[in-house]
Each structure stands twice: as structure tokens, then as C-alpha cells.
Structure 1
């Protein structure tokens, strides 16, 4: 019984070693038509990752936040055709999904400039001094190196939040 177990263990080890050797190609003479795809590297500088586009904020022409990108839908050739934007809701609850043509979105790498008259309003990423009780106009921009982010800062779509909410709700077909 012990000999059978040892023999089975050795046979299994030999099979695994054969598979491991088969995965490492032997150094052979290359033919002129051999592909060099495995030896070349490519750079995707300036491109955006679609996985990072999820959650990108969408603003209108008046710099009002109207929603965020939830999904990008593409055709069979790989061209992005539709952006699914989530409008309203809180923490994903009660969010209204709408589908807009991707070419109608304008992507911007610069941060949104905040111009407001509310002294208590504070855009994300900024700090203010002590409250003075006076109303003043503030313009604030936040700078981030967008070349290393792999996604744009935000998108612009020419509609109001109410117009987006009035659009037909997008449903994923089953």
C-alpha cells in the first residue's frame, strides 16, 4: 500500500513537472514571420481607463453638479456609444439612471471653478478662514495632475438636473 502511494506521488510530480516545462518556451530559432508582440511594450499615455470613469461627476454649463457617470456602454466594435448617468438620490438610493449619447458629453481635465455668493458654502478640497458674516464672491480651483489620474476631472452635459430627471429612466434589459 505504501509503495502504491509513493508511486502515485512520483507519477503526479512527473506530470506536474511536464506541465511546468511546457509553459516555458524553449529557445528555438525564430522564423521570419514570428510575432514580436511578447517582446514589445506599449504605452498608453494620455488615455483614460473606463474602470476609472465610473463616478466621474457631470456638470452643466453653469457648473452645477447634475449627476455622475455610472456606466459606459459600447457597441460590438468597442466604440463607446452611451453614458449612463445617475441623477439625484442619496448614497445610491433613489437614484434616477438616464442614458445619454456619449458624444454629447464634453470631458474636462481642469477642476471645476466654484463661483458663489454663499459664505457658508465650501467646495471640496478648499479651506476658508474665519467667518466674517459678510457675503463675498469666491473663485476657487483645485489643481491635480490629470495626466497621471487615467480619467478626466469631470464631464459637462448641456442640461439641468430637472431636465435629466424628466428623461426616461434607463433600465438594463434582462
Structure 2
């Protein structure tokens, strides 16, 4: 009698497992069909996570800060760029909020004209002019861009570093 109970129990368990397996296969097939028909691509779009740290220059190609954050309204439109001005390694940095539409994003690297090469840049082409004695030597350097499609090379905002520092400090409210 004990043997019949064990055999019946095993048969019942096998039957329930088959039904459960058949049900899970049906739902998996529907999910797979939905996943294969829905595809999205993002060409020409920028990742917001990559925008933090993008350098901001003015019209005179002077580095005036970098983007710290982007603030958007409830519909998802970016309205404000928070720019960090001054400081060193994030300490002593003055945060200011500027209207996002006032920023102009550029994919080409900044061209420098200075007494020496621009710090931290890789020159693509370099020209040197001046007398053979070495006085008044000027180097013009054009840098190469990373060519990333996920964020711009830099932003341009029409203000000096001092003008940005004189703006009211931006503070995150709770």
C-alpha cells in the first residue's frame, strides 16, 4: 500500500511539473515576441550622464568652467545647466545656473593661439611664427576631437569667468 501511495505521488508531481512548464513556456514566447518587435536606436543623441564634466568656453576660447549638472522640467525638457566656475578639483568651486538654451554645443575641438601649446591637448597641426632669435614666438595649435557621438566636445557660453563668478551662487534646495 505504501508503494502505491509513493507511485501515485510521483505521478502527480510529474503531471503538475509538466503543466507548470507548459505555462511558463507560453509566457516566455509572448515576451520574446514583444521584445523582438520593439527596437529603438539613438543616433545623434547625447547621453546626459556624459554631459557632466563637459568644458565650457567663452567666445574668446577661454575655459570658463564645466557643466556639473542639467536640470529639467517635469516634461523632460532640459531647462538649466549648472556650471562650476573656479576652484581646484571640485573644492572652492562656484556653481551658477544658466539657461540651457544659451549654451551652444560644439563637436570640433577648441583651437588655441598661445605662446606655447595648450595644456593637455594633442595637436593635430602646429605652426610656429617668429624671428630666428626665438623672440615673440607664437604657436597655433588645433586639437583633435574625441569624435564621440555620445557627447559634444565642449559648450560655448558668452561670458567671462569673472562674470560667471559674480552671478548668484546656485544651491540645490531640498
Instruction: Tell me the TM-score normalised to structure 2 length.
Output: 0.73
- Kindly report which structure 2 residues correspond to 1:15-164, keeping only aligned pairs within 5 A, or say none: 22=24, 25-27=27-29, 36=34, 38-116=36-114, 118-119=115-116, 121-126=117-122, 133-146=134-147, 148-164=148-164
Report what 2:130 is aligned to.
none
Which has a greater percent of helix? 2
Q: Is the 8 A contact 2:118 2:141 kept in 1?
A: no
Instruction: Tell me the TM-score normalised to structure 1 length.
Output: 0.73
When the two structures are aligned, how many residues end up with a matched partner? 147
DSSP 3-state at the match of 1:164: helix
Q: State the Cα distance separating 1:142 from its structure 2 match.
A: 1.9
Report what 1:32 is aligned to.
none
DSSP 3-state at the match of 1:67: strand
- 4+ residue runs of structure 1 moved beyond 4 angstroms? 21-24, 35-38
Q: State the Cα distance separating 1:94 from its structure 2 match.
A: 0.3
Q: Is the 8 A contact 2:112 2:118 kept in 1?
A: no
Q: How far, CA to CA, are the matches of 1:60 and 1:135 in structure 2?
A: 26
Q: Is the 8 A contact 1:108 1:156 kept in 2?
A: yes
Report what 1:170 is aligned to.
170
Q: How far, CA to CA, are the matches of 1:36 and 1:173 in structure 2?
A: 42
Q: State the Cα distance separating 1:23 from its structure 2 match.
A: 8.7
Q: Is the 8 A contact 2:61 2:110 kept in 1?
A: yes
Distance 1:73-1:23 versus aligned 2 partners, 3 A rule: farther
* C-alpha RMSD of matched pairs (Å): 2.9
Q: Gaps (5+ residues) in structure 1?
A: 1-13, 29-34
Q: How far, CA to CA, are the matches of 1:36 and 1:102 in structure 2?
A: 37
Q: How far, CA to CA, are the matches of 1:88 and 1:68 in structure 2?
A: 9
Distance 1:145-1:97 versus aligned 2 partners, 3 A rule: closer
Q: Gaps (5+ residues) in structure 2?
A: 1-15, 127-132
Structure number with greater Rg is 2
